[in-house]
Amino acid sequence: MFMINSVLSNTPLCRTESVLIFTGDSFFTQKMVKEFGFPNAHYLRYWFHLFDTQLVDMFGEKGNMLLRGDLIQMIKADSEEHFQKAL
């Protein structure tokens, strides 16, 4: 909350209602964005953080090397059909 308050105090002409996109890593959720006071913002997950660090953390170096391509296709899937094809 400190960072959000800092950003808002340094942008006094920007109302929270005018923010339409909120991006962050998988720690955040759409519900949290609303709770932070951004009623019109849509949460977009920052995928590159997931690709760069969390896949290795979840699956280890060897698992990451074996599964990375398929996992990225699953993460980027824009439909259930696309997701299923990546399996």
In this prediction, residue 16 carries a pLDDT of: 92
In this prediction, residue 41 carries a pLDDT of: 95
Task: Write the CA distances from 59 to 48, 55, 80, integer angstroms.
Answer: 16, 6, 23
Nearest-5° Cα angle at 19, 15 to 25: 130
Task: Write the CA distances from 17 to 3, 21, 72, 83, integer angstroms.
Answer: 18, 11, 33, 34
In this prediction, residue 49 carries a pLDDT of: 67
In this prediction, residue 13 carries a pLDDT of: 92
Strands (E), the chain: 21-24, 42-45
Mean pLDDT per block of 10 residues along the chain (87 residues) reads 86 92 84 94 79 77 83 81 80
In this prediction, residue 42 carries a pLDDT of: 93
Strands (E), 18-85: 21-24, 42-45
In this prediction, residue 37 carries a pLDDT of: 93
Q: Is the pTM of this model over 0.85?
A: no
Q: Which residues contact 20 (CB under 8 A, 6 or more apart)?
A: 40, 41, 42
In this prediction, residue 33 carries a pLDDT of: 94
